[in-house]
Amino acid sequence: MIPPYPTAKEQLSLREKVGQFLMPAVFLDDTEEHIQAMEALIQDLGIGSLCFFQSRALAAANVQAQKQMGASPNEQPDYFGRLTELITRYQKASKYPLLISIDAEWGLSMRLPDQLKWPYPITLGALGNRIDLIEQVGYAIGLECKKAGVHWNLAPVVDINTQALNPVIGYRSFGDRPEAVSQRALAWTKGLSKAGVLNSLKHFPGHGDTRTDSHLDLPVIDKTKDQLEAEEWIPFRHLIGQADSLMLGHLAVPALTMGVNEPATLSPALIQIIRDWGYQGILISDALNMKSVSRRFEKAGALELAAFQAGCDVLCFSEQPEAGIEAIIAQAKEEEIEQRFQRWWALKEKGLRSVEEISSSTTSPVLLNEIAENTLTLLIGSPQSLQAFKKKQPSVRVFGRSLGILEGGSSSTHCLIELYLPSPKPGKNFGLREEEWKELLELLQTQKCWLYLFGNPYALSRLPWKACEGVVLTYEQGVAFQEAALKHYLGQLSAQGQSPVNLKEDE
């Protein structure tokens, strides 16, 4: 049990209160040595929260995780079991209950490969009037988190993705239209909250209009305050009443910081804008290990202090927690620490409060099928033109995998294309080899084509897709989305979805 704030105020020392602001990262593939070191850190520093990730070795996450977890290369690790095991151990090590967090934008599968993958936000953005399905997804994800012992889902992304080649947002956004993003993010958040799980709106001041990955460098948003108010900030303001927390991104807006390229996480001026909106809740930094901020400081603890002084209440992925605590104690006023602590403790009390779980009224397969059938988007073409196209006995070409789902004929002038993107990220050509892109381009230039795209619709920016006879977007590669595409091709399903983003050719 967590004591009420008046009791905690008296029980925790100043050092323990500051320790509550630190959120170190923990990993499912950690060795026993790493785990024991974290248990000691929790006990010694009074850490307040943890953020779970799959692997330290992201370049070879699955193999590394298998080795550390004692699984053979051909055996699927029990990621969910590992998560619950570690949560139990870390909670036992803590004097006061930890608030456990994770990025679960499309469910726990974002970090746990063995869990059900719910649709990406961009897929949900295509749902037209079926906003009720989005709330059901948020609720289902919330129940997953609760079952695992996760209290705080660092989601949703409410960035307006207006840059097709955005390396870090893209498919994680609900779209590029502020009102539509607001509506969909609100429905998703309501579902999550209904399950009793905390949320976090991210990434203020808006990460959607950049080609720079803040994990690697500092994106600079060259917009005025009026421009941001008219686009990027609309979802934040629309959802602020539902926000349990709000995440600051490592993004610079020089027009609002006297021409200085200062990350929002370290900018009192940018953070004050949120407080001026009347928001009094928790502000959390984006991960402090990201190069856009971590390389700015050489002295241990200096980054944590700078983020705290700027206005961040929770310091996510702090790599120098002990030094950070000492720096904050040395520099911050006790009254400021107490004010932040009271705000933080209120969030902990809410997140740790027991909420009765209500069984979802819709089973996962049924919900996924509904989403797949209602997001299918006919970008070009019509049911009539598809029927005429099929009479030409088109040949079938499959890209991105060995086998497709559609059957065709032997035409040398008409081609039905199934394009499966191995990756939703634009980096490295969405996972396709360059020769595959060239072959695909040649097909579109020499034959009459219908294209079924299974993946990120922004991939169309690499192709002259408007020359196609027809283009259908499924957004995902899961079985439900393949079945929806097959039904559409057979004339058994009409396309009800609406593209959540404006698509251009050859950007």
Parse the chain into domains and list their residue ranges.
Answer: 5-352, 376-489
In sequence order, the 6+-apart residues with CB closer than 8 A to the CB of 192 are 138, 139, 141, 142, 153, 155, 156, 199
Q: pLDDT for 403-454, tens place per residue?
A: 889 888 889 999 999 999 999 999 889 999 999 999 999 999 999 999 999 9
CA dihedral 427, 428, 429, 432 (to 10 degrees): -140
CATH number of 5-352: 3.20.20.300
| Separation of alpha carbons 342 and 334, rounded Å | 12
Closest CA to 315 of 82, 161, 145, 332: 332
Identify the three-state secondary structure at position 100.
strand
Residue 66 has pLDDT above 70, yes or no: no
The pLDDT of residue 56: 85
**For residue 365, is the peptide bond before it cis, meaning its omega torsion is within 30 degrees of 0?**
no
Ramachandran class of 64: left when φ > 0, alpha when ψ lies in -120 to 50, beta otherwise: alpha
Active site (catalytic) residues: 215, 286
Q: pLDDT for 388-408, tens place per residue?
A: 999 999 999 999 998 889 888
| Separation of alpha carbons 486 and 493, rounded Å | 9
Predicted TM-score of the model (pTM): 0.94
Residue 357 has pLDDT above 70, yes or no: no
Residue 194 has pLDDT above 70, yes or no: yes
Q: pLDDT for 466-507, tens place per residue?
A: 999 999 999 999 999 999 999 999 999 999 999 999 998 764
The pLDDT of residue 354: 62
The pLDDT of residue 340: 98
Q: Which residues of 407-437 are buried (b: 16+ CB within 10 A; e: fewer)?
A: ebeebeebbbbbbbbbbbbbeebbbbeeeeb
**For residue 203, is the peptide bond before it cis, meaning its omega torsion is within 30 degrees of 0?**
yes
- What separation in angstroms does the CA of 97 have from each of 25, 88, 384? 17, 11, 61
